[in-house]
Amino acid sequence: MEHVLFRLAGALAARFTGNGTREDDRVIEEWVDGDERRDALVRGLADKRRFEAHVEEIRSYPARAAWERARSRVTRGRRLRRVLYPVAAATLLAGAMMVFFPRGATLPATGGEESLFSSGTTGARLALADGRVMSIDKETTLLVTERDGTTIVVDSGGMDYRGDGDATAGVVYNEVSTPTGMEFPLTLSDGTRVYLNAESRLRFPVRFTGATREVELTGEAFFEVKADAERPFAARAGGVVTLATGTSFNTRAYESERSVVTTLVEGRVALVDGERRWEIAPGEQGRYVKATGECDTRPVDAGLYTAWRSGKFIFRNERLEDMLSYLSRWYGFEYEFHDEEARDVKVGANLDRYRDMEPIIRMLHDSRLARVVRSGNKLEVYSE
């Protein structure tokens, strides 16, 4: 029951702030399940005027302490749980509001001040088969012909590979990479659309031949695979292959991270490692551990893992160290933790990807989760 209550608190907080997803709605509806008392509680907690009337009083409590106090009450015993359930749910919503969506999470930068780590932009590097490397930004217009005759068109919509090419020229590979603070879209020769996140690299043939359409990924990318049942699409990353015929999925496979994480939005994919195979359905995620070769699948809210594609950062109960690691790829900052406790602080936020980092720093400060001090291009992080 405890984990249901904490999921409910996060879902209610998300709905309250206008950041709810379909999965949040499902969690709330399943909990209410026609119960009039629970429905009244949900409606009461969603009353923004009532919340705002007491918001300063609520903010006077340390967020983590209130959260842990509610957890201890909920888990004290079955009978006590029934008595305190409505009270605990309300307390947890307040805690979730402070911890998951704190004040300042969407506030603009203060006018007149130097921008605090500007957001990333569109851009990439294109490495051609002959060794030439071209830098591309959102203003670049380019027309290149590869040695097999394939045409590469670059414009405001990204990069597009066109033409059948000359089969006698053999397989010709290109590589598109995104530096820190850059993202880039491209369309492969089969019509598959790929969106590369920051610090990512995709190696691929300019013209697909053979029984599969295989690409190699390091970093993170969202794939909209062109349907072709006769030739599966194979994205190789971190020792595992994501196999698809026509589908949309996100794969995160940074070299510094211990797992390859594939989240399926629609269609169907399989993660394949040699003779082993794990099937994934829409709304599920496969997490492949590089060191052991083991993989587990679980249901998730896919929107949380693909939010970057729609210009958002959404974090739910994320370790602060993991969150800063992810954000540093986009904002290009360094960070250092000065004690172990700060690394494991759990945070959540729904933030605009194309704004600077001031709302994020302010969020941490206002929620009293951690103390962050800027020193040039570096963030020094301490426990509160």
Predicted TM-score (pTM) of the model is 0.77
**Which pLDDT score is estimated for 132?**
95
d(CA 254, CA 270): 20
Backbone angles phi, psi at 138, to 5 degrees: -70, -10
d(CA 266, CA 247): 6
* Per-residue pLDDT reduced to its tens digit, 13-72: 666 655 566 777 888 888 888 888 788 877 776 666 665 555 555 555 555 555 556 556
**Which pLDDT score is estimated for 111?**
39
Closest CA to 126 of 166, 176, 57: 176
Helix ranges (H only) for the chain are 2-16, 22-32, 36-45, 48-53, 55-59, 63-74, 78-99, 302-305, 320-331, 340-343, 358-367
Closest CA to 2 of 54, 56, 80: 80
Q: Which domains does the chain have, with CATH numbers?
A: 2-99 (no CATH), 121-304 (2.60.120.1440), 311-383 (3.55.50.30)
Which tokens in the block code for residue 380? 């020094």
pLDDT, greater one: 6 or 168: 168
d(CA 247, CA 149): 29
d(CA 39, CA 134): 58
The mean predicted confidence, pLDDT, of the chain is: 83
Token pair 């492969």 is at which residue?
188
CB atoms closer than 10 angstroms to residue 275: 5
- How many angstroms separate the Cα of 246 from the Cα of each of 23, 113, 166, 186, 234? 24, 47, 26, 17, 11
Which tokens in the block code for residue 164? 């059948």
pLDDT, greater one: 16 or 106: 16
**Which pLDDT score is estimated for 18?**
57
Confidence class for position 105, pLDDT limits 50, 70, 90: very low
Percentage of the residues of the chain whose pLDDT score is greater than 70? 76
Neighbouring C-alpha atoms within 13 Å toward the C-beta of 368: 13
Confidence class for position 107, pLDDT limits 50, 70, 90: very low
Residue 345 host element (H or E): none
d(CA 368, CA 22): 30
**Which pLDDT score is estimated for 29?**
85
**Which pLDDT score is estimated for 42?**
76
What lies within 8 Å, CB to CB, of 144 at 6+ separation is 126, 128, 134, 151, 152, 154
Name which of 37-51, 152-166, 221-235, 260-274 the model is least confident about.
Answer: 37-51
Long-range contacts of 255-262 (CB under 8 A, 24+ apart): 255/218, 256/325, 258/289, 258/290, 258/291, 259/287, 259/288, 259/289, 259/290, 260/287, 260/288, 260/290, 261/285, 261/286, 261/287, 261/288, 261/305, 262/286, 262/288
* Per-residue pLDDT reduced to its tens digit, 125-181: 999 999 999 999 999 999 999 999 999 999 999 999 998 777 667 899 999 999 999
Name which of 39-53, 206-220, 223-237, 294-308 the model is least confident about.
Answer: 39-53
The region that residue 292 occupies, defined by phi over 0 for left and psi between -120 and 50 for alpha, beta otherwise, is alpha
